[in-house]
């Protein structure tokens, strides 16, 4: 039904975003795992530094220096001050670390005043990893959809604010990487619910208008299984007739009423979801792949889930 999956694994830099609570980190972890299983060396970077990404591989929280947390998957947590230090070391060859200390602090204030500065250090580090080809693929557990635009648009924002200087010189090559659809992509994660779908549709429009990054796919997480087709629905109604239900209860040695009630609930939930899915599909560009990941009833997080989600994602992508 969907167009063939995009080759996400062929990209160099993938940002994963979505409204809070939709499973953005889980999808980022699954993508990293899938890429690693397909022989890529992956850097999974957590921008919000909550430690959730490493936890999805049962690893201790990471810091700015990448560490292998699973075979083929290295992980790091973004730290803008550390990023600044690294940047200064690379570009200014500042000898005394003591002088960077207060500078980093001051930078914090400058960053507070001039949005884009903090973001450029984040995006800059990610682009740097891509440019240096330390890994085949950099997967970013990016900020929630409300904030991702600011991050992806940071190089342009800096370009318009800073006319000269080292930072200005740096934004051009970053823009080259970010604007290349063959290298950089964005995945918007959503669930089949009203607000996440609304936010995804808004995000799609804003990404196009305000950034140079291409949206590669929308991932719909926690999709409930389709319980019945139309024919099944009719037969279900026959089974729910009072006399049929009574006979079933007798044969099964217990009232089947709550089981049927649960099925009715599942059908209603699925139907509500289907409506939102339809709205999502209708609002997205027709050639944008929409990947569906199932609701896993048994577990919600941890490495077991990461592996299951990687498998589901792989099936959707045709790997």
Partner 1 sequence: MAPQRAGGTPASIGHLLSAKEIVIACGPGGVGKTTTAAAVATMAAAEHGGRVLVLTVDPARRLADALGLKGIGNQEVRIDDAVFKQAGITPRGELWAAMLDTKQSWDDLIRRHAPDAATREKILANPLYQNISGRFVQSHDYIAMERLYEIHSEGKYDLIVVDTPPTRNALDFLDAPQRLADFFSSRLLRWLIAPYRSRLVNVATRPFYTVADRILGTQFLADISEFFILFQSMYEGFVTRSDAVTRLLSDRRTTFMVVSTLEATPLREAEFFSSELTARDLHLGAIVLNKVLPDYLRDSATARLAQRMAEQVDTLGDGLTDDPVVAARVLREVAESFMHFGVVARREAEQQNELKGAPDILVTVPFFDADIYDITGLIRLGQQVWD
7-26 binders of partner 1 (CB under 8 A): 19-22
**Least distance to partner 1 from the beta carbon of 64, Å?**
18
Asked if residue 230 binds partner 1 (CB under 8 A), the reply is: no
Asked if residue 263 binds partner 1 (CB under 8 A), the reply is: yes
In three-state secondary structure terms, 188 is: strand
Binding mask 45-64 for partner 1 (x = CB under 8 A): ---x---x------------
∠ CA 62-63-69, nearest 5°, is 30
61-80 binders of partner 1 (CB under 8 A): none
Asked if residue 196 binds partner 1 (CB under 8 A), the reply is: yes
Q: From its phi and psi, is residue 132 left (phi > 0), alpha (psi between -120 and 50) or beta? A: alpha
Among 228, 284, 311, 315, binds partner 1 (CB under 8 A): 228
Helix (H) or strand (E) holding 200: helix 194-210
**Least distance to partner 1 from the beta carbon of 134, Å?**
24
Among 191, 211, 221, 306, binds partner 1 (CB under 8 A): 191
Which CB sits closer to partner 1, 6 or 18? 18
CA–CA distance, 81 with 104 (Å, rounded to integer): 6
Q: 218 has which bridge partners?
A: 188, 290
Tokens 């592996």 — which residue? 307
CA–CA distance, 109 with 41 (Å, rounded to integer): 36
**Least distance to partner 1 from the beta carbon of 36, Å?**
23
What one-character-per-residue DSSP string does 170-182 give?
Answer: HHHHHHHHHH-TT
Which CB sits closer to partner 1, 105 or 208? 105
């Amino acid at each position: 039904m969907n167009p063939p999956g995009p080759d996400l694994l062929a990209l160099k830099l993938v940002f994963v975003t979505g409204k809070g609570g939709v499973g953005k980190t889980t999808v980022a972890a699954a993508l990293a795992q899938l890429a690693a299983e397909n022989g890529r060396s992956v850097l999974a970077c957590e921008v919000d530094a909550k430690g959730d990404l490493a936890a999805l591989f049962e690893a201790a929280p990471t810091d700015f220096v990448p560490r292998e947390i699973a075979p083929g998957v290295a992980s790091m947590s973004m730290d803008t001050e550390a990023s600044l230090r690294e940047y200064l070391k690379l570009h200014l060859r500042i000898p005394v670390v003591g002088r960077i200390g207060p500078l980093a602090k001051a930078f914090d204030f400058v960053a507070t005043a001039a949005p884009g500065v903090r973001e450029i250090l984040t995006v800059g580090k990610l682009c740097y990893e891509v440019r240096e080809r330390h890994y085949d693929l950099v997967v970013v557990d990016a900020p929630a959809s409300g904030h991702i635009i600011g991050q992806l648009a940071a190089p342009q924002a800096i370009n318009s604010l800073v006319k000269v200087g080292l930072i200005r010189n740096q934004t051009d090559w970053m823009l080259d990487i970010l604007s290349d659809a063959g290298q950089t992509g964005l995945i918007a994660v959503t669930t089949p619910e009203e607000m996440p779908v609304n936010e995804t549709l808004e995000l799609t429009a804003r990404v196009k208008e305000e950034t140079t990054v291409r949206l590669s796919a929308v991932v719909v997480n926690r999709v409930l299984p389709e319980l019945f087709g139309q024919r099944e629905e009719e037969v279900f109604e026959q089974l729910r007739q009072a006399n049929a239900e009574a006979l079933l209860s007798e044969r099964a040695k217990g009232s089947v009423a709550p089981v049927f009630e649960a099925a009715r609930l599942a059908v209603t939930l699925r139907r509500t979801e289907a409506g939102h899915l339809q709205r999502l599909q209708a609002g997205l560009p027709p050639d944008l792949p929409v990947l569906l990941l199932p609701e896993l009833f048994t577990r919600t997080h941890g490495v077991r889930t990461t592996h299951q989600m990687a498998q589901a994602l792989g099936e959707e992508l045709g790997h």
